[in-house]
Structure 1
Amino acid sequence: MLFSVNGRTLPIAFSNLIVAGWTGRNADAIAHHIEELAALGVAPPSTTPLYYRVSAPLLTQASEIEVVGADSSGEVEPLIVQTGAERYLGMASDHTDRALEAHSVAMSKQVCAKPCATALWPWAEVEDHLEEIEMRSYIFEGGDWVLYQEGTLASIRPLTDLIDGSGLADLAQNGAVGMLCGTFGAIGGVRPAPRFRMEMRDPVLGRTITHEYDSVSLADVA
C-alpha cells in the first residue's frame, strides 16, 4: 500500500492487522456501546479492551468495498501504523457485519474490508496532543449526509496503553503492523448506509485527513 506522509510517498506492506475493541475510557460510554450492540443481539465482551487479530489484506484504501447482505456498517477509528521503529497515526473504518456480530464478534471483524485514508501523520508530530485530535463520521441517509459519530481521542483509552496491551511493537519486529483503536457511539444508533465518510482533524497543527467509501451489497444466498 502507498501512503502519503507530509508530501512524500511511503510504501507499506502489512504483515499484521489488529482491531482493538471496547476501548472507551469512560465506563458509561463502554456500557452505552455494549447496550447499543446488545440491541443487535451481540453478547458483551469477556474483558475490555479486546484485541482481535484479522487478516492484514483486509486493510484497503479503496473507495468501494463489497459486503454480503445489508447488515454491515462502518466505524471511524484512529489507525496506528508501525513499520520497524517508525510509528504513524492514520484513520480507518472498522466496517463490520452486524448480523454475524450477533454470532461472533471476531468473525464479524474478519469478513469485512477495513477502508483507510491514504495519509499518515508521523507519531512524533502528534504524540504531545493526541487527546485533542477530533474524529467524525457521516452516513448518506435520506438523500443527504448525516453526522453519525463525533468525538476526540480523549474518550478512547490512551493509545500508548493500547500499543502496550496489543504487543504491537513486538509484532512490528517481523513486519509492518496496523491497529484500529476503537470508536465512538453512533448518533441515532448503529445502522447500515450505502456511503460512509470520515475525517480526523488535528486542531493544533491545523490539518485534516478524510476518506469516503461506498458499500456494495452482494446477495445473501442461502
Structure 2
Amino acid sequence: MEFQTPAGVLECTPHTLIVAGWTGRDRAAVDHHIEELAAIGVPAPSTVPLYYQCAPALLTQDSVVQVLGTESSGEAEPFLLKSGGTLWLGLASDHTDRALETYSVAHSKQICAKPVAPDLWKLDDVSDRLDQLELRSWILEGGSWKPYQDGTLASILPLASLMDGIEMSEGTAMLCGTLPAIGGVRAADDFKMSLSDPVSGAKIEWQYRTRCLSAVS
C-alpha cells in the first residue's frame, strides 16, 4: 500500500489486521446496543472491546469494491498503522455484511474489503488532541449525500487503551471502532468519510462505491 504522509510517501505491506469492535467509551450505551442487536439475532461479543482478526489483504485503496449481495454498509473509523517504527493515524471504513452479522460478526467482518484513505498523520503530531478529532461519513441516498455519522473520537475508547489490548508491532494495522449511524445502519452503494483536525485544519477524506455481486446458490 502507498500512503501520503507529512514526511513523504510511505510504502508498506501490513501483515496483521485487527478490527476493534464494541469500542464506545460509554459502556452503558455499548451494553444497550448489544441488547438491541441481540434482539434481531446478532450474537453478543465475548468481551468488550473485542479484537476481530481479519486478513490484511482486505485493506484496499480502490475507489470501487465488490461485495456479495445488497446488505452491506460502511463505517468510518480511525485507522492505526505501525510502519517504519512509527505509529500513523488515518481513516478507514469497516465495510460489513449486515445479513451475515446475524450468523457471526467475525465472519461478516472478514467477507468485506476495508477501504483505507491514502493519507496518514503521525499519531504523535495529534496525540494531545485526539478527542477533538472529528469523524464523519455520508451515504448517497435518494440522489443526494445524507449525513450518516458525525462525532468526535471522544466517543471511542482512547486509542492508547485500544492498542494496549493487542501487540501493535511493526506491520500491524487496526480499525478502531466507529460512531452510531444517523437514522440507523443501512446499505448504500456510495460512501464517503472524513477525519478532521479542527486545530490545524487538516483533513483526511475518502470516497468509494460498492459493486454488488449476485449471491447465487
TM over 0.5: yes
Residues 1-222 of structure 1 correspond to what in structure 2 (within 5 A)? 1-6=1-6, 8-35=8-35, 37-38=37-38, 40-168=40-168, 171-172=169-170, 176-222=171-217
- CA–CA distance in 1 between the matches of 2:83 and 2:9? 14
- CA–CA distance in 2 between the matches of 1:108 and 1:167? 23
- CA–CA distance in 2 between the matches of 1:35 and 1:114? 26
Shift of 1:31: 3.2
- CA–CA distance in 1 between the matches of 2:32 and 2:87? 31
- CA–CA distance in 2 between the matches of 1:191 and 1:12? 33
- CA–CA distance in 2 between the matches of 1:59 and 1:203? 27
- State the aligned residue count: 217
Query: Given residue 126 of structure 1, which amino acid in structure 2 is its aligned partner?
Result: V
- CA–CA distance in 2 between the matches of 1:17 and 1:43? 22
Percent of paired sites with the same residue = 53
Q: Secondary structure at the match of 1:127?
A: helix
Q: Given that residues 32 and 185 in structure 1 are in contact (C-alpha distance below 8 angstroms), is that contact kept between their aligned partners in structure 2?
A: no
Shift of 1:55: 0.3
Query: Given residue 65 of structure 1, which amino acid in structure 2 is its aligned partner?
Result: V
Q: Secondary structure at the match of 2:124?
A: helix
- CA–CA distance in 2 between the matches of 1:29 and 1:55? 29
Moved more, 92-101 or 28-37: 28-37
- CA–CA distance in 2 between the matches of 1:7 and 1:160? 23
Unaligned runs of 5+ in 1: none
- CA–CA distance in 1 between the matches of 2:54 and 2:191? 21
Q: Given that residues 17 and 55 in structure 1 are in contact (C-alpha distance below 8 angstroms), is that contact kept between their aligned partners in structure 2?
A: yes
Does the C-alpha gap of structure 1 residues 39 and 75 become closer, same or farther in structure 2, counting only changes over 3 Å? Answer: farther
Shift of 1:101: 0.8
After TM superposition, the score normalised by the length of structure 2 is 0.96
C-alpha RMSD over aligned residues: 1.3
- CA–CA distance in 2 between the matches of 1:177 and 1:158? 18
- CA–CA distance in 1 between the matches of 2:33 and 2:66? 26
After TM superposition, the score normalised by the length of structure 1 is 0.94
Query: Given residue 167 of structure 1, which amino acid in structure 2 is its aligned partner?
Result: E
Shift of 1:30: 1.2
